[in-house]
């Protein structure tokens, strides 16, 4: 974990993420941009950004890279309960509770901004729309969580994987990380298995089914959606739970 300053730091995803929920004025965007640049950190892949049991005191906002929110059982079984993508705030408001009940680990190198609680609250107090946007992000996370329960509980493997891919693609689109029908996809099959409640072996076979059906191309960490409508049908995907404007 090291401090990264100056050029190359992009706060765009954050502005885009929040703008999808509330209209963010030029001046608010500028103030937010300034706050985000105050303390920019970097973390390698495969580490816990925050861990179950930690006392939440700071807020981390992801500028680039992917992470996974997860919980593990005593015997090692792991369930990823959500992905954290660029523009997402990992833990806004979690300081209202005394302890974190889950962990977040980096799947790639991650660049993120860290903000102290006081600074964060001051930002929100000064701007109603910004505060609402952040609360909405929290509510959308809950909605995603609900949809995941449906996904894991009531969809079969092929539907489940298709649905997850649809969700990720939509979320990346919001923050401008979808190029046409392709995106970087830095997730191992083990991660996908832990996100869908499947075994790695079966996840592998399910991906092959999606490939064979001509719905996706996935290789060398790049995902291309060959037929988005078909993928949505295959996953019984309805994006309203993401509450994207427009």
Could you say which of 31, 131, 158, 236 contacts DNA (CB under 7 A)? 158
| 34 contacts a copy of itself (rule: CB under 8 A) | no
Q: Which of 189, 224, 226, 233 binds DNA (CB under 7 A)?
A: 189
Residue 75: other Cβ atoms inside 10 A: 5
CB 14 within 8 A of CB 61: yes
Under the binding rule (CB under 7 A), the answer on residue 157 touching DNA is yes
The contact mask relative to a copy of itself for 108-137 (x = CB under 8 A, - = no) is ------------------------x--xx-
The residue range among 114-122, 164-172, 196-204, 236-244 that interacts with DNA, by the rule CB under 7 A, is 196-204
- Out of 17, 60, 155, 171, point to the residue binding a copy of itself (CB under 8 A): 155
- Going by their DSSP bridges, the two strands 78-84 and 40-43 should be labelled as unpaired
73 versus 240: smaller Cβ distance to DNA: 73
Question: In the complex, what is the shortest distance from the CB of residue 30 to a copy of itself, in angstroms, rounded to a whole number?
Answer: 24
Site for a copy of itself in 37-76 (CB under 8 A): 69, 71, 73-75
CB of 59 to a copy of itself, least distance (A): 14
**CB-based contacts of 2: which residues, under 8 Å, 6+ apart?**
41, 42
CA 101 to the chain's CA centroid: 18
Contact between 243 and a copy of itself per CB under 8 A? yes
82 binds, among a copy of itself, DNA, none (CB under 5 to 8 A by kind): a copy of itself
Site string for DNA, 19-58 (x = CB under 7 A): ----------------------------------------
With CB under 8 A, what is the number of residues at the site for a copy of itself? 43
Concatenated DSSP letters of the chain: -EE--STT---HHHHHHHHTTS---HHHHHHHHHHHHTSEEEE-TT-EEE-TTPPP-EEEEEEES-EEEEEE-TTS-EEEEEEE-TT-BS-TTGGGSSS-SSEEEESS-EEEEEEEHHHHHHHHHT-HHHHHHHHHHHHHHHHHHHHHHHHHHHS-HHHHHHHHHHHHHHHHHHTT--BTTEEE----HHHHHHHHT--HHHHHHHHHHHHHTTSEEEETTEEEES-HHHHHHHHT--GGGG----
188 binds, among DNA, a copy of itself, none (CB under 5 to 8 A by kind): DNA
For binding to a copy of itself (CB under 8 A), which residues are involved? 69, 71, 73-75, 77-79, 81-82, 93-94, 96-99, 101-102, 132, 135-136, 138-143, 145-150, 152-155, 196-197, 236, 240-241, 243
């Amino acid at each position: 974990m090291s401090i990264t300053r100056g050029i190359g730091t992009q706060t765009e995803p954050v502005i885009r993420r929040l703008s999808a929920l509330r209209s963010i004025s030029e001046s608010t965007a500028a103030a937010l941009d300034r706050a985000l640049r105050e303390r920019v950190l970097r973390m390698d892949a495969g580490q816990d950004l925050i861990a179950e049991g930690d006392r939440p005191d700071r807020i981390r906002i992801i500028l680039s890279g992917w992470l996974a929110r997860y919980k593990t059982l005593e015997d090692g079984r792991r369930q990823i309960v959500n992905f954290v993508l660029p523009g997402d705030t990992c833990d806004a408001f979690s300081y209202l509770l005394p302890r974190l009940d889950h962990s977040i680990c980096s799947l790639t190198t991650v660049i993120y901004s860290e903000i102290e609680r006081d600074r964060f609250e001051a930002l929100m107090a000064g701007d109603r729309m910004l505060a609402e946007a952040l609360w909405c992000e929290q509510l959308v996370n809950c909605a995603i969580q609900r949809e995941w329960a449906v996904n894991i509980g009531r969809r079969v493997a092929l539907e489940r994987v298709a649905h997850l891919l649809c969700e990720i693609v939509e979320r990346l689109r919001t923050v401008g990380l979808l190029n046409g029908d392709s995106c970087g996809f830095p997730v191992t099959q083990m991660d996908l298995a832990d996100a869908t409640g499947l075994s790695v072996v079966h996840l592998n076979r399910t991906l092959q089914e999606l490939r064979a059906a001509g719905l996706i191309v996935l290789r060398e960490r790049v995902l291309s959606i060959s037929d988005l409508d078909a993928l949505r049908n295959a996953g019984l995907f309805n994006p309203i739970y993401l509450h994207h404007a427009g």
